[in-house]
Amino acid sequence: MISNLPNPILKQSAYQKGATDFLFRPLHPQELQFKLMWHLEISQQICILLCSPPDKLEKLEDQIKIILPNCILIRAFTGNEAIELSKKKHPHLIFMDVMMLEISGLLACKIIRSYQPTRSIPIFLISNFKKERLKQQAYEYGATDFLFEPLSVEEIQSKLFSLLSAKSIYGTLHHSNCSKNIFSLIRFILDKKLNGTLSLQKEEKKGKIFFHQGDIRHAELDELDSQSALHQLLQWDNLEFEFQHHEVEWSRQPSLNHILSEKDWYKN
């Protein structure tokens, strides 16, 4: 829904009546592109771990479902369970109450940060104790952000969208485990004619692919030339990735899309 009245009560009413999102005029093309991509495609890929005592969890779950109706939500009721599920499920982000059972949310956050595969997962810590020292301690333990209760749908949405717009597409908020191969990633970026860099990592090896307006313009891997690097990167799967939106310096280079046309996956 769209309105030129910046009225938070009107916005909340829109959500209660079933609106997927609410935008204020003037509208910006980049904002519209991001919101459309998010609601139509990216939100279906997001996996969120909710860590909270049972009496609070259901409300938080309902609030997030209003914003991301297609996301996957995983529940954890104790600090130890949060740690184990973060290792097993590799969620894209975590919401965690400071007052968890068994061990605190602060300690659970610190442990998750100490484990290499989960180190980069954004973690939002939540508390109803409005103390600046607690907030500072949360950041010292590795929290991405700290939220005071009671939480509103608008606040949660603002934090999520700020994080997403600063990070990446395709459900990846930072370097997260990729269950799909590189083929689907490249098809998505090309179809959307996005400008930017796709950074890839498979075990200890790292590579990059540069995109401009529906074309691959350059690729980097070890000391290989651009075409050879792209050939090698197209063989990767089970990788970690991050896409950053920006204008690329390789925008005037010849397109490398002809390499894609040689692949069966691109023809299908």
pLDDT at 162: 61
Helix (H) or strand (E) holding 112: helix 105-114
Write 216-224 long-range contacts (CB < 8 A, 24+).
Answer: 216/186, 216/190, 216/255, 216/256, 216/257, 216/259, 216/260, 217/248, 217/250, 217/251, 217/252, 217/253, 217/254, 217/255, 217/256, 218/248, 218/250, 218/253, 218/256, 219/256
pLDDT at 108: 94
pLDDT at 86: 93
> Which residue, among 237, 236, 234, has the nearest Cα to 261 in the 3D structure?
234
Q: Determine the distance from the C-alpha atom of residue 94 to the mean position of all C-alpha atoms in its chain, rounded to a whole number.
A: 11
What do you get for the CA distance between the two ends of the chain, in Å? 36
The C-alpha atoms of residue 190 and residue 255 are separated, in whole angstroms, by: 12
pLDDT at 49: 94
Q: Where are the beta strands (DSSP E) in 28-110?
A: 47-51, 72-76, 93-97
Instruction: List the domain boundaries for the chain.
Output: 45-166, 178-267
pLDDT at 15: 65
pLDDT at 33: 53
Range 45-166 has CATH code 3.40.50.2300: yes
Mean pLDDT by 10 residues, the chain (268 residues): 78 70 67 53 71 88 82 91 93 91 92 87 88 86 87 81 51 37 72 79 90 90 94 82 72 86 54
pLDDT at 105: 92
pLDDT at 111: 94
